[in-house]
Structure 1
Amino acid sequence: MKNRSLGFQIWAMFLLVIATLSIVILVVMRSSIGNFIDEQVYSTLENSEVFFSKDASVIDMLQDNPIEFDRRKQESRSVNILLLSKNGKLYYGGAPQQLIDQMYRDAINQKAETEKYTTQLDKEDVYYSILKIESEGETYYRVSYVWDAYRQELITQLFSKIGWVVVIVSILTLFIAFWLARRLTQPLIEIEGAVGKIAAQQWNTPLPLDRGDEIGRLARSVNAMRVDLEKQDKAQKALLQNISHDLKTPIMVIRSYAQSISDGIYPDGDLTGSVSVIEEEAERLEKKVAALLYVTKLDYFELDRSTWDTIDLDRMVHLLQSRFSSTKPLTWTITGEAGLVLGEGEQLRVALENVIDNAMRYAETSIDIRLSGTEEMAQIEIENDGPPLDSSSPLFHQFSRGKEGKFGLGLYIVKRIVERHDGEVSIENQAVGNGKDKVRVIFKFPRHFKPEID
């Protein structure tokens, strides 16, 4: 069923409901209605006994007032009446002798004043009740009976009306199912076609956004995905154009220097200087390739928190400061304590390392690192006195440009690592007076555990 169209599934569901309802009516209700009709038949038989009250003299009524007796008899409609004496004499009514004999046997054996009976005569059911009447010292038996044809007529009429109701309701239900199927499937078909066009990179594809239900929310989600994919597509095309140039440049330098050295020419004056240029360009190329591979690792490998360990952020920051401080003469200041967090140590080191490396690249005289924390959160602020940021540049985006127009992945890697640790990272310009600004990067990491408090 799930492999068929939604419209077919809706029709099938409505047909199943109709079929189930019909079966219930034909099987369950028929039995229930049959019992109900039986009760109504006996009730009719009992009501027909009104003019044969046990306190009335039936014989007197037959002899003295036949008109009144016949009028009351008509009130019993299709109910047949017999009046028997205790010795089997038939005073009133008529019926097949076999039926009269059966009724008489039941009457003389009856203990209660009134009893209900059912018998069969030539495969036809007969329903009757017997009322014992005592009058002037004599015992009479008043028998009210109907043939099964009366009961069957009632059932047939009732089921005929119910059948028409079921047919009309079924037709209306199928029309509703058809309308509902079109209402639900038409926008889904439009969304399906739009998704196919989006997959083919046709970004200007319209979607049914004028709905407030789940289908409308789905369309808006697909539209948001379309907008994001369009941005990603444009950024990736620009990345391919620009990063190919970034990768091509060091490769060209390495090849040209290697060719020159093989020809006995040293572009930087001597062999040592020329080889050092090759090494620098190879290092640049290695860093770019490593960054691309690291992004792939973060984006496509599942996060395994079972490998997380307790990380001392204070020790990690001091080790990174010791390592970087010898590469550029800057004034370093580290204050406060951030404490311990749970995380993946190598990834946290890469995140801090990328930010400190950027800070060193643009810092003019100093880098200030402030460590702090609460019971739930650890915070690290890394500040440098380099040129202020361009607020219009999305520096944490995967394909953002740097100040020199080159595509970088360092800050994007930082953002992905922090997000994988449920943390936050932001970058801002901080005014310090005298018309100068500092660039500040703020990390916030949840501890993922409650530290012990002394």
Structure 2
Amino acid sequence: MKLDHLQPKRLMWKIWVLILLIIVTLALMILLTIRSSITQFIDEQVYETLQDVDYYLGNTNELENIPQNPIEYDRRQQESRSVNQLIFLPNGRIIYGSAPLELTNRMYQEAIEQTSEVAKYQTTIDGEDVYYIIRQNEYDGELIYQASYAWDAYRRELVSTLYWRISILIGVISLLSLIPALWMSRELTKPIVEMERAVEKISNRQWETVLPLAREDELGQLARSIDAMRQELQEQDVAQQALLQNISHDLKTPIMVIRGYAQSIGDGIYPTGDLKGSAEVIDEEASRLEKKVVDLLYVTKLEYFKGQEMRLEPINLDKLVELLVSRFKLRGNLDWTVEGHAGEMLGDGEQIRVAFENVLDNALRYAESRIHIRLSHTGAGVEITIENDGPPVDENLDLFHQFSRGKQGKFGLGLFIVQRIVTLHEGTVALGNTSDGVAVHFHFPPSNSNPKLKLDHRN
């Protein structure tokens, strides 16, 4: 039982871990993307700063004049703190600023090869990246090269600072999101836990168990399906109890008669006056007992077929009815008439035969003088009606129910078997009173209207 109670908890933690993995994955993807984006953004900003400072210094004669706008000058000075300036002539002489010799040589070589007025460059000096812009300018009618550069330390500091701040922010958001994730996993598993407990109670035949049916999502649909199963199981349980009671009652009578007659014969007493009559009674009760057992076994067989694919074959209903009538004629002095033709249908020949036999057996038992059978086959399907002039039935009773009793209060499964067979063949059967007796009406749909029947027929 302890392991069973851990199952829902494991599911809850699985959901929580799944959400956690999604959060971590998204956070890592965001961090990787952000780092690349930040790097690209900072690179662009470094070049813009270099170009901005370079443009300002190159167009305001910074080397000689004080700008007219002191506020703008102060702002430019603030921006240029991380930017170094180098101005040199075409002959290589530096007239402003200083830089490492290797960097100066590279700048000079690129400057004299530069064809555009302004160009962006990036190089590495002793493992340190350098970003710089070289502008061609004129001073006193002479060509000069103006280089604005910044070392990678400034860029790397910006990237690291922004990256770690964003990383901390994403980490805090991820941690805070774990709380609603845990709550969500609990909410998702709560109805599952309730249904698990309800199903456990249902398995113990506690049919009054209530399930969480108020939900409108998939879990609510599952709960309603389980509740429908509960109701069906409850009905089947009640039916089984009634079946056992009816079977025990109806089987007890022939068994008691057989035992009583057998004991009497053993004591030399013949209840009917002679041995032959007493043996006939025993044989009759044994036949009744056999009939009930056969019916019960056949009901079990039909319940099995309900979930299986039937073996279907063409059935010649005219020949089948003719054969059954010839056999039943020998059991009584009645007037038998058959009218019309039903042709063929697809079905299980044994089951259809049993269904007709049960109806004819009832008709033979209650008919007073005649049994009339009408057959027809139209586009709507097969119609078969079996009438007899026996006493009317109580139409308020469901005589096709498996626990229905006849007029003498005897339990029987004949009509229940009939209805089950007809249902398996997608047909209908009805029993009712007529002006001069009782009639059982069968209807089977045409084979070509049932996709399953067509498929089985082709096979």
State the partner residue of 1:31: 36
8 Å CA contact retained: 2:381, 2:444: yes
- SS class of match (1:325): helix
Task: Within 5 Å, give how 1:216-295 maps onto structure 2.
Answer: 216-295=220-299
Q: Indicate whether 1:92 and 2:93 are aligned.
A: no
Gap runs ≥5 in structure 1: none
8 Å CA contact retained: 1:236, 1:399: no
| Range with greater deviation from structure 2 (187-196 or 361-370) | 361-370
Percent identity of equivalent pairs = 52
State the partner residue of 1:412: 416
State the partner residue of 1:62: 63
- SS class of match (1:289): helix
8 Å CA contact retained: 2:87, 2:147: yes
TM-superposed deviation, 1:70: 4.6
| Range with greater deviation from structure 2 (90-99 or 6-15) | 90-99
Q: Indicate whether 1:326 and 2:330 are aligned.
A: yes
State the partner residue of 1:163: 167
8 Å CA contact retained: 2:428, 2:442: yes
State the partner residue of 1:80: 84
- SS class of match (1:44): helix
State the partner residue of 1:424: 427
**1:108-158 Cα distance to aligned partner (Å, 9 max, x none):** 333443332222334322211222235555322221222223322332343
8 Å CA contact retained: 2:429, 2:442: yes
CA distance in 2: counterparts of 1:390 and 1:12, whole angstroms: 65
C-alpha spacing 1:372/1:122, structure 2 compared with 1 (3 Å): same
8 Å CA contact retained: 1:243, 1:406: no
Gap runs ≥5 in structure 2: 1-6, 448-452
8 Å CA contact retained: 1:384, 1:440: no
C-alpha spacing 1:214/1:358, structure 2 compared with 1 (3 Å): farther
CA distance in 2: counterparts of 1:405 and 1:119, whole angstroms: 108
- SS class of match (2:342): coil
TM-superposed deviation, 1:284: 0.9
TM-superposed deviation, 1:270: 1.8
8 Å CA contact retained: 2:85, 2:149: yes
Give the number of equivalent residue pairs: 440
TM-superposed deviation, 1:429: 2.4
C-alpha spacing 1:175/1:72, structure 2 compared with 1 (3 Å): closer
State the partner residue of 1:107: 111
**1:173-218 Cα distance to aligned partner (Å, 9 max, x none):** 3233222222222122111111111111112222222222222222
State the partner residue of 1:51: 56
TM-superposed deviation, 1:350: 0.9
Task: Within 5 Å, give how 1:147-226 maps onto structure 2.
Answer: 147-226=151-230
TM-superposed deviation, 1:391: 4.1
Q: Indicate whether 1:393 and 2:394 are aligned.
A: no
C-alpha spacing 1:3/1:363, structure 2 compared with 1 (3 Å): same
C-alpha spacing 1:145/1:30, structure 2 compared with 1 (3 Å): same
State the partner residue of 1:357: 361
- SS class of match (2:121): strand
TM-superposed deviation, 1:17: 0.6
CA distance in 2: counterparts of 1:113 and 1:145, whole angstroms: 16
Task: Within 5 Å, give how 1:117-136 maps onto structure 2.
Answer: 117-134=121-138
C-alpha spacing 1:388/1:192, structure 2 compared with 1 (3 Å): farther
Q: Indicate whether 1:5 and 2:5 are aligned.
A: no
